Amino acid sequence: MNCGLDFGTSNSTLSLCRERAVTLVPLEGEEITIPSAVFYAVNASDARFGKQAMRLFMEGEEGRFMRSLKRILGTSLMNDGTVVNGKLKRFEDVLGDFIGNMKAAAERHSGVEMTNVVMGRPVHFADNDSKTDSRAQDELQNIAKAVGFKHVAFQYEPIAAAFAHERTLRSEQLALVADIGGGTSDFTVIRLAQNMMDKSDRTDDILGNSGIRIGGNDFDKDLSLSAFMPDFGYGTDYGEKNLPLPAVPFHDMSEWSKINFLYTPKMHKQMRDILPQSHAPEKFSRYIKLLEEGKGHQLLAAVEECKIGLTDHLQMTALLDFVEAGFAVSVARAVFNAAVDKHVRAIVSDIDDCLRQAQVREKDVELIILTGGTTEVPLLKKTVAAKFPQADISEENKLSSVGLGLGYEAIRRFGTAG
Ligand SMILES: Nc1ncnc2c1ncn2[C@@H]1O[C@H](COP(=O)(O)OP(=O)(O)OP(=O)(O)O)[C@@H](O)[C@H]1O
Ligand SMILES: [Mg+2]
């Protein structure tokens, strides 16, 4: 059977094509989206995925937890592999476990083998680096083949989102899709209309594509470094020469895909050696605690929750009892906005690139399709809306439009027989 698979940095979906109908498959219980998280418990032979992985890990079960694996594709970290419960494991195999689990869920649900897949991909996995870009796609393709897909094709994620929205349009519209997820921001300028849906080649309708490796993960990092890490010693000094503590360990503790790489005996020793010379030992010992107790993901999850809370509230307080009894961090939305401002500006400038490429002016755009969880961030939404005051804004199915659109693309590429 043909399917579409949106392997996201934060969340993933899979759509099935039966004849001309495309539907999203329940992947975890009744849920059609599954968090892109994997947990290998010490005393279990098989991996756990999604919300279940997150719950087991956050409840303190011992094992190796991973999120934001998509960010590793194409990078040198892919070659290093990772130690999982004492054994070296290739990232290809970790990713294969996750994608294979999605495939198996779809097969259980439909009773049919998934053979052909259109996978989503960001316009650029990496910025200004075409080698990394093609390596990342090749790696994803090999993983999909290794878990049993016979034919694997790719489509840009924002184009897939456009195809999902096209079904709801009443007239032809010039649209800009802004897909801002966990790992990347991706844009396409595309002509959409219901009567164009069945065209076998849409190349002429796609006027421009652009993308940048900035997403919600980077907003988590910005918020962590500006509002949380200072209470863990970031920016404080040590030693007689009043040197600042090294910044990299704090940066890595704030980046989903890097936390695990901090958990080494060498890093523990390096930080322990600095502690007696720290000028802010109460704060810095909290960092050491995160490191030694492996609580980095738990902290970053609290940061992310705080970020999401700031979408609806002007002020949020994160309770961090797992670090220290009664320890809490309060953040105002204004502080978050200031922390992410440079990234918001880079995203907007990438939209300008997309428009230039498409040779389209801002005022020509009739419809803005906002998709991806990060388009909820008020500063981002407001900035994009202000750029296109004349355009309609569509915000439906933010977490599933890419997966659905990849299903429609699967029909175009592989036919309806499946
Ligand atoms: N209400 C909200 N306010 C702010 N951010 C949010 C909100 N809801 C979700 N997010 C953020 O959106 C991101 C996830 O979005 P999404 O599921 O679209 O990403 P993805 O498709 O997995 O990533 P990508 O497409 O970049 O690979 C996370 O960073 C999450 O914190
Ligand atoms: Mg996405």
Nearest ligand to the CA of 214 is 1
Q: Is 166 helix (H, G, I), strand (E, B) or coil?
A: helix
The C-alpha atoms of residue 137 and residue 130 are separated, in whole angstroms, by 11
- 373 in contact with ligand 1, CB cutoff 6 A: yes
CA distances from residue 23 to 2, 8, 164, 275 in whole angstroms, order as listed: 11, 18, 11, 55
**Mean of pLDDT over the chain:** 96
Q: Beta partners for 187?
A: 178, 210
Instruction: Tally DSSP H helices, then E strands, for the chain.
Output: 14, 20
Kindly list the distances between the CA atom of residue 359 and the CA atoms of 94, 207, 219, 352, 365, in Å, as whole numbers in the listed order: 42, 8, 30, 10, 11
Residue 239 structure tokens: 């030693």
pTM for this prediction: 0.96
CA of residue 114 to ligand 1 center, whole Å? 27
Could you tell me the distance, in angstroms and rounded to a whole number, from the CA of residue 212 to the centre of ligand 1?
15
Tokens of 151: 């034919």
Report the separation in Å between the CA atom of 363 and the middle of ligand 2, taken as the mean of its atom positions: 27
Amino acid at 207: L
Contact predicate 212/181, CB 8 Å: no
Q: 3-state DSSP call for residue 236?
A: coil
Chosen CATH of 170-395 out of 3.40.30.10, 3.30.420.40, 1.10.10.10, 3.40.440.10: 3.30.420.40
User: Could you tell me if the CB of 211 is within 6 A of ligand 1?
Assistant: no
For the cut 90, the answer to whether the pLDDT of residue 69 exceeds it is yes
Whether 170-395 and 2-168+396-414 are alike in CATH topology: the answer is yes
Q: Per-domain residue ranges for the chain? A: 2-168+396-414, 170-395
Check whether 259 has a pLDDT greater than 70.
yes
The CATH number of the structural domain formed by 2-168+396-414 is: 3.30.420.40
Asked if pLDDT for residue 200 goes beyond 90, the answer is: no
Q: State if residue 82 touches ligand 1 by the CB under 6 angstroms criterion.
A: no
Contact status, residue 43 vs residue 122, Cβ threshold 8 Å? no
Residue 418 reports pLDDT greater than 70: no
Render 318-350 in DSSP notation, one character per residue. EE-TTTSTT-EEEEEHHHHHHHHHHHHHHHHHH
Mutational pocket test of ligand 1: of 6, 7, 9, 159, the residue with most ligand atoms within 8 Å of the beta carbon: 9
Residue 9 Cβ contacting ligand 1 at under 6 Å? yes
Label residue 19 by pLDDT band (50, 70, 90).
Answer: confident
Ligand 1 atom with the smallest distance to the CA of 304 is 31
Task: Report residue 43's pLDDT band, with 50, 70 and 90 as the boundaries.
Answer: confident
Check if 374 has its Cβ closer than 6 Å to any atom of ligand 1.
yes
List % helix, strand, coil for the chain (3-state, nearest 5): 45, 25, 30
Determine whether the shortest distance from the Cβ of 70 to ligand 1 is under 6 A: yes
Does the pLDDT of residue 49 top 90, yes or no? yes
Give me the pLDDT at residue 386, please.
97
Structure tokens at 343: 């990234």
Residue 120 parent element (H or E) = strand 116-121
